[in-house]
Amino acid sequence: QKEVEQNSGPLSVPEGAIASLNCTYSDRGSQSFFWYRQYSGKSPELIMSIYSNGDKEDGRFTAQLNKASQYVSLLIRDSQPSDSATYLCAVNQRGNNRLAFGKGNQVVVIP
Amino acid sequence: SAVISQKPSRDICQRGTSLTIQCQVDSQVTMMFWYRQQPGQSLTLIATANQGSEATYESGFVIDKFPISRPNLTFSTLTVSNLSPEDSSIYLCSVTGTGDYEQYFGPGTRLTVT
């Protein structure tokens, strides 16, 4: 079982719609969870961090964490063409400082 | 967050040679990391660069191939040795931020081996 899994294929959403991305992780003791946005040809940019169960909102982004089910999700409301990017889920491994990354989900917002 | 720079931004190297990548941060940071991102793939951690001691390498990565230095709290280098076409990747350094285990990435170095 992979440490962090993002299984959805490319996601196409119309402008103004909600994009929903999911991520599952294997280490039940993981404590810190992150979403990165990566534009083509650029390095990953941290957009959300979440540490406790529930929802965390920041502008048009909402991160949701459910430790019992070992998943973390990202919602992008009112999607804009500038949101077109690959979104990477990252999980901190218990007991050390390393992050494990999922393979990423490409989001394409269609005007 | 800290401002991170990497040199070079890109390079084309011949098989069998080596490339040293520099990572500079504008403030002192505790942890620095080196990642590889192969074309179309996610990020793979190569090693944690420890100040004043040997780097901690992940499974599948060895010091002879990826020697790392970290002479102080603002600078690190990664050398990719004995280059082969399979080493063609983007190499990224990252540093920890103020939040728990947050990491921020430099702009990356795109390496092409011919």
Nearest to A32 among B31, B100, B104 (CB): B100
Res A1: pLDDT = 65
DSSP A4-51: EE-----EEEETTS-EEEEEEES-TT---EEEEEE-TTS--EEEEEE-
Q: Which of B58, B80, B85 is nearest to B68 (CA)?
A: B80
Cα A65 to its chain centre, rounded Å, is 10
Indicate the SS3 state at residue B19: strand
Res A111: pLDDT = 93
Nearest to A101 among B1, B42, B48 (CB): B42
Residues of chain A with Cβ-Cβ distance to B102 below 8 Å are 32, 34, 46, 49
C-alpha B15/C-alpha B91 separation (Å) is: 17
Q: ω into residue A44 within 30 of 0, thus cis? A: no
The parts of chain B modelled with pLDDT lower than 50 are none
Summarised one tens digit per residue, pLDDT across range A47-100 is 999 999 999 999 999 999 999 999 999 999 999 999 999 999 999 977 678 899
Summarised one tens digit per residue, pLDDT across range A13-40 is 999 999 999 999 999 989 899 999 999 9
Decide if B106 touches A, using CB distance below 8 A. yes
